[in-house]
């Protein structure tokens, strides 16, 4: 440990620690002014903003490229430091177009924020004298580049060099004419291209998807977990007036660090998509027709009772459903009402390539949670064998018919099929009863990722007016089959399952911000870099 | 002429005295009031041309260039809106009456322009902050139109087309 004095106060840090990080802690979380430093990237030290005074060193030093040494005396707030930062910021603004009115970064722009504190507010540079660079270039499917706004911090270049290792971006030309861009003949279209939008401290790299759609300062955000694959990247859903505008990664060093794939970011489009199930449907005279909930429940009850004395209940869970819903389905409809649980997924489906970084082969968010609750994968022939004219099949958010043709045929052997889910698909189209549920952005829940880490996500926006929380639908189904659930509220489900099941005992104390490992394995699995 | 107040305040204050005689019947004040009315009446009768009454709505007052009247949006030389949809006006608006949807423009020198721009004139408090906030001088409140009437609430919500072609029958800029 090294004793070090920052701004007149003594601190103890590990020898060799990055001085920028040490200063952040010493300043109570307030970071030094900076553009180029990012904890997830190698240090470049090009923006020269994080100047600090170190006693015994004649010139000011940049904190990001210095390390903590024993006996160091550092000053981050002296007049000399502030003057220097002010002048360096003026340098950064020499060729900046100051076109904030049409820039999407407004509200989360480091240049704006720092100008508020270190601005000169008077400039000697005429707009006409500025070096003009290329504006509004689409450099990839998802990213827009405005080279004039760039402060040449090289974060994007370091990201493509060290994180994705695709090396599309670089800084071209020299001096005043330096310009960030993609290498000739290439375009920025790797799977993580939108991370450079988050990394860019100014408005040089902006998202094409979010372009001009909303001012950033009008967005509210809520913590969530990406439902796109078994990695479970932590993210924030950003929304305004009940509409989701974007999804951004949330830092979790144990899972996704600072990154997230483009696919996951754009999943929000399904939430307001055209294929939402917005009303309850009942099949009448061969046609699915929209009905009210009362009608659906009475029709479902009548059908159930009409299946005869030997009527059976067959249940299919889903790796897309939350832990609470899967527990509700199992404890109420299987254990209490006597249904037979087939499993949670068709064997071998919804698998894609594992890219060795964040995208997992398993493209479902809660496979581990389902398995730990006792669900297993099943085959289409098992689905067929469990069927019969006297069987009611309840499917929880699982597109069996769309995933496998044999499964689609097997669905025909059931007396009745009830589908709970939020998107219209091949299965909902052949079901006799369609019960519209809510998407991941419209409800609270827990997913267990591939490492057995339980992570919470929260509701961002309201769902369609007629859609209901899935756990309530399961409770209503229980009433139809003659069993009242022991849980009355959503949080009862989690507390009951963590109390009753040993596999989920770790959740009894609540789920932390970084998630909770169910196996109690404290050595978090390192995120491998591809 | 100080008033006298009946009751305890008058009794204890010592400033006023109890009214009596003609004062008790407000006789003096009645004649004073009638004098004022008669003076104005006779002035108007003998100097009809200088009568301060305006024959509104046939005659309209001139409030001068500082009047904040119904908004209009300015055009570029080619007739497209000058507005770049930066939404500063709707951000600063205290009554939240401006709503803008931005879109991309394919002209090389214009990146962003409004797709829709609506002002709810019923919510507007005519504070003029939008005009001050606008970085492009795209919105002005100089049409001179301050009488705004319609037969439904919806008609008070004016759109981009209306605002761009808003007649300036008041003071010209």
Structural domains for chain A: 2-92 (3.10.20.740), 127-271 (3.30.70.20), 281-448+459-492 (3.40.50.740)
* Angle between helix A79-92 and helix A110-118 axes, rounded to 10 deg: 130
How many other CB atoms sit within 10 Å of the CB of residue A137? Answer: 14
- Is there a contact between B85 and A212 if contact means CB atoms under 8 Å apart? yes
Interface test with A, best of B96, B108, B112 (most A CBs within 10 A): B112
Chain B hits for A136, CB-CB cut-off 8 Å, are: 111
Return the SS3 of A252. strand
Alpha-carbon distance of A505 to A316, in angstroms, equals 25
| Location of structure tokens 């649980």 | A341
**Please, are residues A265 and A247 in contact by the beta-carbon 8 Å criterion?**
yes
Domain map (residue ranges) of chain B: 8-50, 72-164
Alpha-carbon distance of B95 to A91, in angstroms, equals 39
DSSP A65: G
DSSP string of A265-315, one letter each residue: HTTHHHHT-TTB--S-EEEETTEEEE--HHHHHHHHHHHHHHT-TT-EEEE
The set of residues, in sequence order, having a beta carbon less than 8 Å from that of B155 and lying 6+ positions away, is none
Choose among A101, A135, A211: nearest Cβ to B86. A101
Enumerate chain A positions whose Cβ falls within 8 A of a Cβ in B.
Answer: 100-102, 135-136, 211-213, 215, 217
**Please, are residues A215 and A227 in contact by the beta-carbon 8 Å criterion?**
no
Alpha-carbon distance of A139 to A169, in angstroms, equals 10
| Location of structure tokens 């001096």 | A175
Torsion over CA: B41, B43, B48, B50 (sign): negative
B84 touches chain A (CB under 8 A): yes
- Is there a contact between B87 and A215 if contact means CB atoms under 8 Å apart? yes
Chain B hits for A101, CB-CB cut-off 8 Å, are: 84, 86, 88, 135-136
The pLDDT of residue A529 is 36
Chain A closest-CA separation from residue B50 CA (Å): 51
Alpha-carbon distance of A167 to A67, in angstroms, equals 28
| Location of structure tokens 């040089």 | A204
For the domain covering B72-164, report its CATH number: 3.30.70.3270
B104 touches chain A (CB under 8 A): yes
Choose among A136, A212, A217: nearest Cβ to B102. A212
Closest chain B residue by Cα to residue A218: B91
Give the Cα-Cα-Cα angle A160, A153, A238 (nearest 5 degrees).
70
| Location of structure tokens 């978090």 | A524
Q: Facing residues of A315 across strands?
A: A341, A394
The pLDDT of residue A15 is 94
Closest chain B residue by Cα to residue A134: B108
The pLDDT of residue B167 is 65
- Is there a contact between B86 and A100 if contact means CB atoms under 8 Å apart? yes
DSSP A136: S
**Please, are residues A438 and A470 in contact by the beta-carbon 8 Å criterion?**
yes
The pLDDT of residue B106 is 87
- Is there a contact between B86 and A136 if contact means CB atoms under 8 Å apart? no
Chain A hits for B135, CB-CB cut-off 8 Å, are: 101
- Is there a contact between B136 and A136 if contact means CB atoms under 8 Å apart? no
Interface test with B, best of A99, A101, A135, A149 (most B CBs within 10 A): A101
Query: Where does residue B118 fall: left (phi above 0), alpha (psi -120 to 50 degrees), or beta otherwise?
Result: beta
> Residue A285 — φ and ψ, nearest 5°?
55, 40
Closest chain A residue by Cα to residue B104: A212
The pLDDT of residue A325 is 96
Closest chain A residue by Cα to residue B85: A102
The pLDDT of residue A520 is 63
The set of residues, in sequence order, having a beta carbon less than 8 Å from that of A41 and lying 6+ positions away, is A155, A158, A159, A162, A163, A199
Low-confidence residues of chain A: pLDDT under 50: 522-530
- Is there a contact between B88 and A217 if contact means CB atoms under 8 Å apart? no
DSSP A234: E
Q: Output the pTM of the full model.
A: 0.88
**Please, are residues B71 and B166 in contact by the beta-carbon 8 Å criterion?**
yes
Chain A hits for B112, CB-CB cut-off 8 Å, are: 102, 212
pLDDT along chain B (173 residues), means of 10: 50 56 82 95 90 84 88 92 95 96 90 95 95 95 86 92 74 38
The pair of three-digit structure tokens given for residue A377, joined into one six-digit string: 């994968």
Chain A closest-CA separation from residue B168 CA (Å): 27
* Angle between helix A293-306 and helix A470-480 axes, rounded to 10 deg: 40
Q: Parallel, antiparallel, or unpaired: how do β-strands A51-54 and A61-62 relate?
A: antiparallel
Interface test with A, best of B84, B87, B133 (most A CBs within 10 A): B87
The pair of three-digit structure tokens given for residue B125, joined into one six-digit string: 């408090």
In the stretch 122-151 of chain B, residues with CB closer than 8 A to chain A read 135-136
Alpha-carbon distance of B68 to B66, in angstroms, equals 6
Closest chain A residue by Cα to residue B109: A135
**Please, are residues A228 and A191 in contact by the beta-carbon 8 Å criterion?**
no
The set of residues, in sequence order, having a beta carbon less than 8 Å from that of A73 and lying 6+ positions away, is A4, A5, A54, A55, A56
Alpha-carbon distance of A269 to A248, in angstroms, equals 14
């Amino acid at each position: 440990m090294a004793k070090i004095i920052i701004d007149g106060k003594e601190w103890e840090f590990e020898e060799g620690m990055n001085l920028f990080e040490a200063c952040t802690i010493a300043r109570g979380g307030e970071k030094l002014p900076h553009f180029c430093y990012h904890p997830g990237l190698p240090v470049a030290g090009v923006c020269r903003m994080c100047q600090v005074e170190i006693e015994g060193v004649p010139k000011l030093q940049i904190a990001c490229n210095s390390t903590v040494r024993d006996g160091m005396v550092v000053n981050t707030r002296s007049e000399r430091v502030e003057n220097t930062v002010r002048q360096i910021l003026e340098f950064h603004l020499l060729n900046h177009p100051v076109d904030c009115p049409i820039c999407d970064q407004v509200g989360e722009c480091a240049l704006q924020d720092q100008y508020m504190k270190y601005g000169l507010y008077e400039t000697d540079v005429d707009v006409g004298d500025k070096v003009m660079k290329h504006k509004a270039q689409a450099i990839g499917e998802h990213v827009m580049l405005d080279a004039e706004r760039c402060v040449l911090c090289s974060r994007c270049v370091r990201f493509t060099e060290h994180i994705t290792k695709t090396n599309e971006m670089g800084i071209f030309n020299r001096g005043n004419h330096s310009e960030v861009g993609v290498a000739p003949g290439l375009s920025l279209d790797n799977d993580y291209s939108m991370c450079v939008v988050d990394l860019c401290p100014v408005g040089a790299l902006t998202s094409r998807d979010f372009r001009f759609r909303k001012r950033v300062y009008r967005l509210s955000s809520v913590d969530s977990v990406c439902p796109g694959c078994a990695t479970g990247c932590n993210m924030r859903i950003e929304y305004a007036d009940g509409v989701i505008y974007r999804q951004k990664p949330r830092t979790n060093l144990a899972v996704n660090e600072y990154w997230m794939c483009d696919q996951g970011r754009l999943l929000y489009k399904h939430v307001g998509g055209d294929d939402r199930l917005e009303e309850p449907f009942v099949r009448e005279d061969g046609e699915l027709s929209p009905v009210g909930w009362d009608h659906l429940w009475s029709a479902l009850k009548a059908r159930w009772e009409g299946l005869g004395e030997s009527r059976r209940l067959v249940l299919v869970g889903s790796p897309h459903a939350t832990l609470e819903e899967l527990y509700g389905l199992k404890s109420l409809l299987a254990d209490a009402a006597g249904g037979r649980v087939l499993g949670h997924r068709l064997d071998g489906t919804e698998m894609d390539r594992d890219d060795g970084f964040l995208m997992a082969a398993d493209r479902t968010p809660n496979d581990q949670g389902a398995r730990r609750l006792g669900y297993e994968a099943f085959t289409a022939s098992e689905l067929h064998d469990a069927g019969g004219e006297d069987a009611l099949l309840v499917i929880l958010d699982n597109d069996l018919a769309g995933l496998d043709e044999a499964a689609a045929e097997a669905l025909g052997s059931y007396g009745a099929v009830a589908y709970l889910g939020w998107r219209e698909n091949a299965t909902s189209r052949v079901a006799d009863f369609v019960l519209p549920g809510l998407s991941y952005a419209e409800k609270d829940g827990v997913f267990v990722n591939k490492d057995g880490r339980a992570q919470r996500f929260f509701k961002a926006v309201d769902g369609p007016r007629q859609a209901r929380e899935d756990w309530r639908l399961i409770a209503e189904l229980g009433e139809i089959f003659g069993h009242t659930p022991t849980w009355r509220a959503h949080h009862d489900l989690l507390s009951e399952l963590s109390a009753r099941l040993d596999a989920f005992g770790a959740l009894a104390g609540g789920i932390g911000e970084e998630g909770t490992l169910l196996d109690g394995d404290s050595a978090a699995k390192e995120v491998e870099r591809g | 002429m100080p008033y006298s107040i009946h009751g305890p305040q008058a009794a204890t204050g010592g400033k006023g005295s109890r009214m009596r005689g003609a004062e008790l019947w407000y006789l003096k004040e009645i004649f004073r009031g009638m004098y004022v009315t008669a003076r104005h009446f006779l002035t108007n009768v003998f100097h009809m041309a200088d009568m301060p009454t305006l024959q509104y709505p046939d005659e309209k007052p001139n409030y001068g260039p500082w009047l904040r009247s119904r908004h209009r949006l300015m055009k570029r030389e080619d007739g497209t809106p000058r507005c770049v949809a930066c939404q500063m006006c709707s951000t600063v608006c205290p009554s939240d009456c401006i709503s803008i949807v931005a879109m991309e423009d394919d002209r090389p020198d214009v990146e962003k322009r409004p797709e829709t721009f609506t002002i709810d004139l019923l919510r507007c408090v005519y504070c003029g902050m939008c005009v001050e906030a606008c970085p492009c001088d795209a919105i002005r409140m100089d049409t001179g139109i301050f009488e705004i009437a319609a037969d439904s609430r919806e008609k008070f919500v004016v759109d981009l087309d209306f605002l761009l072609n808003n007649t300036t029958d008041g003071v010209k800029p």
